């Protein structure tokens, strides 16, 4: 009984951490609105954010917590990073924000607006649904792919399908885009799925346009 309670408590804590992590993750969905106004503003935000986060991670891993100006500016970032880190991830550089920024920059630079938007929104909603539903309703693990579940696959597909259908109003395009997103998300890229999803989905969308 005690072990079952402990496992259930750990699962709830893990889900709460993932909810906070993906709440930050889904903010990337606002990027197309900045791009619509000014691409350079979006690129500047992504680049400066990546630099600030990298400095924060260097300071966190170097245990530089006592200097006053670090506490004022970087400590909130370090605290959030440590809270949302998965497993032993907080002992090393947490790459997810950097790979996300890199993926967003690539689609911003190389793809037309609609393809860029679809790539970003697939990352924001598809990947988020996969992570949250995969933990809340895992059902069972996918064969040959550790830490990926049937619940996550279903969540990713449905979230991306709805998003693509809202954007394009074409069920065939939505099915293809959702299938590609789900396939990429299910592959064991770790945090590099933040880079692969927008790039691959953006490229697929470009071919469909």
Residue bearing the bigger pLDDT, 26 or 8: 26
Q: How sure is the predictor about 24, in pLDDT bands with cuts at 50, 70 and 90? A: confident
Residue 158 is predicted with a pLDDT of 94
Residues in contact with 14: Cβ distance below 8 Å, sequence separation at least 6, in sequence order: 135
The least confident of 7-21, 42-56, 183-197 is 7-21
The confidence score (pLDDT) of residue 8 equals: 60
Q: What is the mean pLDDT of residues 57-81?
A: 73
Mark residue 63 as left, alpha or beta (left: phi above 0; alpha: psi -120 to 50; beta: remaining).
left
| pLDDT-derived band at 1, boundaries 50, 70, 90 | very low
Arithmetic mean of pLDDT over the chain:
81
- Whole-model pTM: value is 0.81
| 64: Cβ contacts below 8 Å, ≥ 6 apart | 70
CA distance 121 to 44: 20
Where does residue 139 fall: left (phi above 0), alpha (psi -120 to 50 degrees), or beta otherwise?
left
Residue 55 half-sphere exposure, CB side, CA atoms within 13 Å?
10
Q: CB within 8 A of 106, min separation 6: which ones?
A: 195, 198, 199
Sequence-separated (6 or more) residues with CB below 8 Å from residue 137: 151
Q: Which tens digit of pLDDT belongs to each residue from 135-193? A: 776 666 666 665 667 778 888 899 999 999 999 999 999 999 999 999 998 887 777 88
């Amino acid at each position: 009984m005690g072990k079952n309670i402990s496992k259930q408590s750990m699962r709830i804590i893990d889900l709460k951490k993932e909810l906070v992590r993906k709440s930050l993750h889904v903010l990337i969905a606002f990027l197309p609105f900045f791009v619509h106004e000014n691409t350079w503003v979006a690129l500047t935000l992504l680049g400066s954010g990546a630099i600030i986060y990298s400095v924060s991670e260097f300071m966190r891993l170097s245990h530089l917590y006592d200097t006053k100006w670090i506490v004022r500016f970087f400590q909130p970032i370090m605290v959030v990073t440590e809270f949302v880190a998965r497993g032993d991830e907080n002992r090393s550089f947490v790459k997810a924000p950097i790979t996300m920024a890199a993926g967003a920059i690539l689609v911003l630079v190389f793809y037309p607006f609609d393809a860029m938007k679809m790539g970003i929104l697939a990352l924001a909603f598809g990947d988020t649904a996969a992570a949250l539903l995969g933990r809340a309703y895992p059902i069972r693990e996918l064969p040959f792919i550790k830490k990926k579940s049937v619940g996550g696959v279903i969540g990713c597909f449905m979230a991306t399908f709805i998003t693509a259908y809202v954007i394009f109003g074409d069920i065939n395009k939505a099915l293809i885009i959702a299938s590609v997103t789900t396939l990429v998300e299910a592959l064991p890229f770790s945090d590099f799925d933040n880079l692969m999803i927008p790039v691959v989905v953006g490229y697929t969308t470009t071919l469909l346009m």
